[in-house]
Amino acid sequence: MTKNDLRIIFMGTPEFAVETLRALVDGGYNVVAVVTQPDKPVGRHQDTLQPSAVKQYAVAKGLPVLQPVKMKDPQFVDELRSYNADLQVVVAFRMLPEVVWAMPRFGTFNVHAALLPQYRGAAPINWAVINGEKQTGVTTFFLDHDIDTGRIIMQEPFDIADDFNVENVYDGLMKLGAGIALKTIDRIIAGNGHVDSLPQEDMIPVGKELHYAPKIFKETCRINWNMPAEQARNFVRGLSPYPGAWTNMVSPDGKNSVLKLFKAALTQMPCNGNAPGTIRIFNGNMLVATADCWLQLDEMQLSGKKRMDARAFLNGFRDIESYTLER
């Protein structure tokens, strides 16, 4: 069997998935069809349809595109089956029903942006950074009935530098994910459809806590200033640049404005009894009190304004220390 013989269906939606699809196409692998989300209504009146990043790339390359609303729709299942795929490759897509993931004779594998069994769920990159991890990675695993629990095929680590935010880790894992997808397919080809894999239960260190990566909502991104400074900084960089950590900035007359934070730095200065959320200026820098030390806020965006650095932000306030950040 060669990569020209192996019939592959690719499934994915965002830019993260495009990198893997591009690697497959550029590498000469036999991608017979692409499955992605339906076009998304955008604009003020929701009257413009925006195709996914994966669809845009697939159309440009002349690949057939399927966009089911429901994955169990009989018409879609029949159309998918008509491609007679040997293997399905999934990157940043939705949960698949068994009728779909069990269809190819060699199964369906997913590229997950974490070192499973850690960080199962929809937002593994965000949560790894939020939790202050020093390392994450990518995993390929066969899909089964439960989300992100299938047998692991391959893993590759990725170091998270102290100054990395989600964008840095996203870019690194996007490239690493494309590479591991091709290596996994090559192993399947070399084994004539068979490849060694390990159950995730065998990879859980005794006594080690498993972290999960649930979907992130607006309220998830709200900062609690009662946390320690290092934890608050990790929270900011774990949501930067998108969707962005936020807090309410309260004016002296009690009015609230949403303040998004994109970059923060640790200081070694204890808060000395200042209430969490207190704002102070020190050497021209904007500081906020946390549960232990002052946190320096370096990049932010006030509701209705542009994103800016702290010095530009402070130029718009006469007495910023009379404001507080809501706990």
What averages of pLDDT result for each successive group of 10 residues across the chain (327 residues)?
Answer: 94 98 98 97 80 98 98 98 98 96 98 97 97 98 94 98 97 98 98 94 84 96 98 98 97 95 97 96 96 98 96 92 94
The Cα-based distances of 251 to 73, 299, 317, 319 in angstroms read 53, 19, 11, 10
309 falls within a domain: yes
User: 127 and 21: one domain?
Assistant: yes
Pairwise CA distance, residues 266 & 309, whole Å? 16
Q: Which of 161, 179, 203 lies at the terminal end of a domain, its last residue?
A: 203
What's the whole-model pTM score? 0.95
User: 145 and 283: one domain?
Assistant: no
Residue ranges of alpha helices (H) inside the chain are: 15-26, 53-60, 74-82, 98-101, 124-130, 166-190, 229-237, 310-314
Q: Which of 179, 203, 227 lies at the terminal end of a domain, its last residue?
A: 203
User: 131 and 226: one domain?
Assistant: no
User: 240 and 317: one domain?
Assistant: yes
User: 188 and 247: one domain?
Assistant: no
CATH number of the domain that 76 lies in? 3.40.50.170
User: 193 and 277: one domain?
Assistant: no
Predicted local distance difference test score (pLDDT) of residue 176: 98
For the chain, how many structural domains are there in total? 2
Domain containing 224 equals 219-325
Closest by CA to 143, choosing from 73, 200, 191, is: 200
C-alpha atoms less than 13 angstroms from C-alpha of 51 in its C-beta half-sphere = 14
Measured at the CA of 83, the angle between CA 70 and CA 94, to 5 degrees, comes to 30
Cβ distance 11 to 76 under 8 Å? no
User: 241 and 266: one domain?
Assistant: yes
User: 224 and 321: one domain?
Assistant: yes
87 falls within a domain: yes
User: 86 and 136: one domain?
Assistant: yes
User: 150 and 40: one domain?
Assistant: yes
Q: Which of 203, 231, 261 lies at the terminal end of a domain, its last residue?
A: 203
User: 182 and 227: one domain?
Assistant: no
Element (H, E) at 159: strand 152-159
179 falls within a domain: yes
Could you tell me the two tokens for 42?
């955008």
181 falls within a domain: yes
User: 61 and 155: one domain?
Assistant: yes
35 falls within a domain: yes
295 falls within a domain: yes
208 falls within a domain: no
Amino acid at 271: C
Predicted local distance difference test score (pLDDT) of residue 206: 79
CATH number of the domain that 313 lies in? 3.10.25.10
80 falls within a domain: yes
Could you tell me the two tokens for 203?
């990879």
